Structure 1
């Protein structure tokens, strides 16, 4: 029986907590027993979304195979976040010293920093908090634009939903990729992403604008990125001329053309396939390239 202790701090984000909790509960349902505990300084913690959570104030006895995880909390800056209680600091340090694993999701990395767990180690957090994390803990090596890092049994993940990727990674490392795949499939998670995957996909990076015409074209590309999509077809779909579409698209996406956007989607999907063991040639065909030469150029 493996025990996972979630340390709940004020205004904890529900998905930071619920995502990993669902992963480990799912593993228990597939015959790999896990017990989940929720520990806080007080018996009730108000989440960032307003839902009160009940927690225990005493810590269970932990072995070296058990895990302590600190979910993140609401706040635009880390300096205004909660302070980790001295007893929790000692628990984290003692568990790691005994051979246990410590993990965090999103802003939870700051709690690990308060406990001195980031010093001399690689770590990450939400992309909006990385600069501040690096400034607060100069002895840490903050790795940018990755989903999670592992360094000497200290595991940190990026923003919110990346906690699911981190938990699936821990399952795969402990029990093999087959169990992680079964849990991911049961959760209807698209795929288990590796730690080096970017925090924000191409779809997210280039869709924060307010141009409805460009959004319509991007939606078509998102759905059919593996198919040939001539500019004339995209322009007709948007109801504008090819020249107008090119101008609007570049303005909304910081200089991208529709073709470059499509290539970014293809490259991102190909990188995922390659990380899962697919050959470069097969990945190129899967995402719509006629051969692997263009994919190799884009990867360089």
Structure 2
């Protein structure tokens, strides 16, 4: 998608970041991916042997370039973990592929970058309790299913009740929003839930999926959240995590407003706020 090119270009153009703020990951290794995904599925991705039905579920025709891109995105989220541990926060320009299950892809997602990174942190003893904050308008069904029996990872998804996926999995905590939910209601619900959740879960690491498909301009979102409301959502999440001294990795997730300028601006706000709140240079 064009937004993945335009986000860093805009941030550089306006001076929010400099070139040395970016890093380019290598592809994730099969061994790390297999901490989360089944070998048969990974082999299909690598060998381009997905069935037509499997490709329809994903929404993309298979290609070596698409598979490589997904492995790079996943490693980017893992690399972000080290930056976040050092600096408090790190952001992947892409990622948030939360519809991918252990044995299949769905909804434009091949590998689940948060799940792979979370399992990597646990294996390396870099975290003991992880909170996944998924504020994309679509439920993180793949993430919920992957961690349904894993106490070390708590999954929280706040999403549209009537939006994709139409069969929802069960997160550790799901907050479902009605069509037309306004900025005020959205922020109130998040503000009621997240502070107490941090107290109860006591995570030592967090992943934040900052989808901007909650915007009122989004073609598929069905909510009525303003640009400023989306920005305040990010401010709330970052402020609470920083106050609690919980390292945070962010992936961009979805955004489908008709004007790409709107999508880019909303995503760039996430980067701007991260820099402001964490006092990054």
Under TM normalisation by the shorter chain, which class is it?
0.3 to 0.5
| Structure with the larger RCO, 1 or 2 (CA within 8 Å, 6+ apart) | 2
Structure whose CA Rg is larger = 1
Q: State the TM-score, normalized to the length of structure 1.
A: 0.32
